[in-house]
Amino acid sequence: MTGVGWTWHDSDVILPGAEPYSHDGGPIGALLIHGFTGCPQSLRPWAEYLSAAGLTVRLPLLPGHGRTWQELNATRWPEWYAEVEAAHTELTSHCQQVVVMGLSFGAALALHLAIERPDRVRGLVLVNTFVLTTDRRQVALPALRWITRSVPGVISDIKKPGVSELGYDRLPLQALYSATRFQRQLRAALPRLTQPLLLYRSAEDHVVPAASTAYVLRHAGSPDIEEIMLPNSYHVATLDNDAEEIFAGSLAFARRLGTSRNSPGASNGPATPPKPWLDTTHADG
């Protein structure tokens, strides 16, 4: 998606396969958001499926991703969200309605966008939503990030043989700390969510605990929420055995919302910007 959003380290080379994706189609738009340490490759088949069905699609590359984990470690959540926001602004200029879709931490950014722009996000499709962790090692992160730059991460958590995810095998700790601060504030804001919400959750996920999606189910303010289990996929379900179910279900969801105009997010026209609810003053942590 050339010319949209942030330009991050212009001299650096994007990893082959990590490029952003863009397709102009019909009046229904889909904004897809990849996860932390991942890249658009994990969502590319989903984006292409929606494009082939006639939707207008944007799949941006978040700052610091698709290059090196060291570059990601120099970025913070406001930069990742700024890219999402810019892609959404551009997409709404082409479409009557926009549905936002995300994987893992990308799903958390999608929730943020929906709360920030309730009149311009028609609905959400989220896969293995990452808004919290139950890993007790997390308590050491505020101090550990000053001791070491990264720790081993989990990549390609995929059940399907012969399929891999393009991403970093290290977790950059300064960036991760920023992500956790974002998540904490996001959890507090979930009751403000009003749009229809379709949640997919893998029965076995080695990255995000089931408690994360359960938290969204309990606390999101939307009156229209559905959870669908994915019995044969791990964390990166968009590349796994249940991917086709996600693709078809998200398309049906977007089309259903496209026929109903009298609910939150039904208009993508100009709106008065809401008061920000996330504190970016100390975003670098």
56 Cα distance to chain centroid: 17
Q: Among 152, 157, 165, 146, which Cα is nearest to 69's?
A: 152
Whole-number Å distance between alpha carbons of 58 and 50: 10
| 51 labelled catalytic | no
Catalytic status, residue 205: yes
Cα(165)–Cα(144) distance, rounded to whole angstroms?
Answer: 27
Cα distance between residue 111 and residue 106, in whole Å: 9
Catalytic residue among 205, 212, 240, 242: 205
Strand pairing partners for 20? Answer: none
* 145, containing H or E segment: none
Output b/e per residue, 24-61; b: 16+ Cβ within 10 A. ebeebbbbbbbbbbbbbbbbbebbebbbebebbbbbbb
Concatenate the DSSP letters of all residues of 6-24 into one string.
----TTSPPPTT---EEE-
Select which of 202, 235, 242, 250 is catalytic.
Answer: 235
Q: How far apart are CA 33 and CA 10, in angstroms?
A: 21
Catalytic residue among 22, 42, 51, 104, which? 104
Site of tokens 């919400």: 197
- For the question of residue 104 being annotated catalytic, the response is yes
User: Which are the catalytic amino acids?
Assistant: 104, 205, 235
